[in-house]
Amino acid sequence: MPRREDIHVGQRIRQRRWILNLTQQQVAAQIGVQFQQLQKYETGMNRVSASRMPDSNRDVLHRAVVGVSGHVRLLL
């Protein structure tokens, strides 16, 4: 069962992807996963590893969960 925090992160990723008008395939290619894995991130079924965040400064994952100050912020 997905945790509330994982669902929230997934929603933020999906929201950012929609804002940028990107497909799941495009985002998945940017972060080096299959689009099925991105689907699992977006639904909260799989947790996005914190170790993935520093490597994703240029992509949707980073911008979805990191604030302007560069600190991770999750508004629950």
Residue type present at position 12: R
Cα–chain center distance at 7: 10
Token code pair at residue 64 = 């979805």
What's the pLDDT score for residue 35? 93
Predicted pLDDT of residue 43: 94
Whole-model pTM? 0.72
Structure tokens at 29: 């290619």
pLDDT at 52: 63
Say whether domain 4-65 belongs to CATH 1.10.10.60: no
The per-residue pLDDT for range 2-22, each reduced to its tens digit, is 888 888 888 888 988 898 898
Domain boundaries, the chain: 4-65
